[in-house]
């Protein structure tokens, strides 16, 4: 008992000194837990610690669980200094409820409006105030292919959907799964849909789809090929889709078990972490036809603690958007920097293709930016249901997608 009491006393004292000494400690909730991801988040943590702060890591596996943890703590009155959210409509409700601290002082001091793309600034600005620290941008619609698999059937990286399906037929005859689809979360079906949509309808069609006349657009001939491709894709995938995580699916490309895989840039980091060179053993392109890059991103939402930003929050925002951290962080993650002035010459072939698309203006903001989480969730689960329905036709896709756009 005596030892126990002593232990308690020591812990209590340590806790008290901890509060006193580290006024600049920052608790950060995020969902970066895979190998490449934790290396990336380590870059920010290290840089933050280097400035005399103390990074308290609160990694939660899975974006839904991480957001749930952060929101629970905000509701409970004990918010972390920063929490990862997706760029876009994800923070709308938080802003409406006045839970977040405006970041205007940092944004103005560091001239975010000059160094960040306008679309990114729009996505974090509400009523003229900035409410999120952009951390990284990600292309979500890379088409990866196993070089081994393609060489076995004597095929090149396809440049059209027709070529994609023709190669798919050859792969299937050779006993290789043509298309690897992840299926443990609805969002992966959304992701594949976004890739098909962007490659078929291009930038203008994308804006129509996300605009007020979305349902009408879905019923036009311009959208038709999207539905046809979506209806055809499941027959090129294997039966193990349901419940399979994206990184396990990624492995299927790495070991030549499957031919093609559509996934976001985060897979590039994972391919590198597995000891492969993106662009060598694993080929990549933006969609099959170099259509617009579908850009998503991550931000730090900074909950208000007392009045305005705390010193720790300001420091974290500055560190995250600094040139050095952006360069090292995006290199580790396989993602794209949120600001200009970052040296991208060290990028691998896949990430460079993404960066080039953005530079050329050949990019659109992902559906996550405009659509509410509710709408996204509905679309994702409908797409998941259609995927396993082998009788689903292009008409079913058109009606279902138009229905979601109308109802949410």
Per the CB < 8 A criterion, the answer to whether 135 and 82 are in contact is no
The full DSSP string for 116-164 is S-HHHHHHHEETTEE--EEEEEEE--EEEEEHHHHHHTT-PPPSSHHHH
Closest approach, Cβ 268 to another protein, in A, equals 25
Closest to another protein by CB, 319 vs 376, is: 376
Closer to another protein by CB, 345 or 407: give it: 407
Window of 122-130, 222-230, 320-328, 371-379 that interacts with another protein by CB under 8 A = 371-379
DSSP type of residue 338: S
Q: Beta strand pairing status for 133-139 and 25-30?
A: unpaired
Give the CA radius of gyration of the chain. 22
3-state class (DSSP) for residue 48: helix
Q: Which stretch binds another protein (CB under 8 A): 291-299, 309-317, 342-350, 385-393?
A: 385-393
- Encoded one letter per residue, x for contact with another protein by CB under 8 A and - for no contact, window 77-106 reads ----------------xx--x-x-------
Distance in Å, CB of 372 to another protein, minimum: 7
Least distance between another protein and beta carbon 381 (Å): 7
The answer to whether the CB of 367 falls within 8 A of the CB of 194 is yes
- Distance CA(400)–CA(398), nearest Å, equals 6
Considering only 384, 398, 402, 405, the residue that binds another protein (CB under 8 A) is 384
Check binding of 389 to another protein (CB under 8 A): yes
Window of 119-127, 194-202, 210-218, 387-395 that interacts with another protein by CB under 8 A? 387-395
- Binding mask of the shown chain, residues 279 to 318, with x at each position contacting another protein by CB under 8 A: ----------------------------------------
- CA distance between the termini of the chain: 60
> Which residue of 162, 374, 395, 406 would you call a contact of another protein, by CB under 8 A?
374
Q: How far is the CB of 24 from another protein (least distance, A)?
A: 28
Give dist(CA 63, CA 184) in Å, integer: 13
- Which residues from 330-349 bind another protein, rule CB under 8 A? none
Which burial class, exposed, middle or buried, applies to 373 when counting CB atoms under 10 A from its CB (0-12, 13-18, 19+)?
A: middle
Determine how β-strand 282-286 pairs with β-strand 293-301: unpaired
Contact code string over 150-189 relative to another protein, x by CB under 8 A = ---------------------------------xxx----
Residue with smaller CB distance to another protein, 87 or 358: 87
What is d(CA 80, CA 99) in angstroms, rounded to the nearest whole number?
12
Written as six digits, the tokens of 165 are 């399906």
Q: What is the C-alpha separation between 144 and 335, in angstroms, rounded?
A: 15
Give CA angle at 377 (353, 193), nearest 5°: 35
Task: Name the residue with tokens 């972490």.
Answer: 273
CB 150 within 8 A of CB 259: yes
Indicate whether 387 belongs to the interface with another protein (CB under 8 A). Answer: yes
- Closer CB to another protein, 264 or 380, in the complex: 380
Task: Compute the least distance from the CB of residue 14 to another protein, in Å.
Answer: 30
Among 151, 346, 388, 393, binds another protein (CB under 8 A): 388
- Residues 206-245, interacting with another protein (CB under 8 A): 238-243
- Taking the least distance from each CB to another protein, the nearer of 211 and 243 is 243
CB 167 within 8 A of CB 155: yes
**Least distance in Å: CB of 72 to another protein?**
9
Q: Is the CB of 278 or the CB of 298 nearer to another protein?
A: 298
Q: By the criterion CB under 8 A, which residues form the site for another protein?
A: 64, 67-68, 71, 74-75, 93-94, 97, 99, 183-185, 238-243, 372-374, 376-378, 381, 384-389
């Amino acid at each position: 008992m005596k030892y126990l009491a002593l232990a308690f006393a020591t812990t209590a004292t340590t806790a008290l000194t901890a509060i006193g000494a580290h006024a600049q400690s920052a608790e950060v909730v995020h969902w970066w837990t895979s190998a490449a991801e934790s290396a990336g988040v380590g870059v920010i943590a290290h840089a933050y610690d280097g400035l005399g702060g103390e990074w308290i890591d609160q990694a939660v596996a899975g974006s839904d669980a991480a957001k749930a943890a952060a929101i629970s703590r905000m509701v409970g009155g004990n918010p972390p200094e920063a929490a990862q959210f997706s760029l876009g409509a994800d923070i709308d409700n938080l802003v409406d409820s006045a839970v977040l601290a405006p970041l205007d002082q940092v944004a103005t001091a560091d001239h975010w409006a000059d160094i960040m793309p306008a679309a990114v600034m729009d996505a974090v600005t509400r009523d003229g105030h900035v409410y999120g620290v952009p951390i990284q941008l990600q292309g979500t619609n890379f088409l990866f292919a196993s070089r081994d698999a393609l060489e076995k059937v004597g095929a090149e990286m396809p440049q059209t959907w027709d070529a994609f399906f023709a190669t798919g037929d050859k792969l299937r005859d050779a006993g290789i799964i043509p298309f690897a689809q992840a299926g443990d979360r609805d969002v992966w079906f959304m992701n594949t849909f976004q890739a098909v949509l962007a490659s078929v309808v291009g930038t203008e069609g994308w804006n129509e789809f996300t605009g007020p006349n979305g349902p009408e657009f879905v019923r036009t001939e311009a959208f038709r090929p999207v539905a046809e491709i979506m209806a055809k894709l499941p027959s090129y995938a294997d039966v193990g889709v349901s419940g399979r995580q994206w990184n396990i699916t990624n492995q299927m490309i790495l070991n030549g078990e499957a031919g093609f895989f559509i996934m976001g840039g985060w897979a590039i980091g994972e391919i590198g972490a597995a000891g492969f060179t993106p662009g060598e053993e694993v080929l990549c392109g933006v969609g099959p036809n170099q259509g617009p890059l579908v850009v998503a991103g991550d931000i730090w939402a900074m909950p208000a603690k007392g009045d305005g930003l705390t010193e720790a929050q300001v420091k974290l925002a500055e560190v995250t958007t600094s040139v050095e951290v952006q360069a090292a962080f995006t290199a580790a993650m396989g993602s794209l920097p949120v600001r200009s002035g970052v040296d991208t010459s060290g990028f691998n072939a896949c990430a460079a293709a993404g960066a080039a698309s953005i530079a050329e203006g050949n990019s659109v903001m992902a559906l996550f930016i405009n659509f509410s989480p509710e709408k996204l969730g509905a679309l994702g689960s409908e797409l998941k249901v259609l995927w396993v329905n082998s009788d689903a036709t292009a008409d079913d896709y058109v009606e279902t997608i138009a229905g979601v756009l109308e109802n949410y």
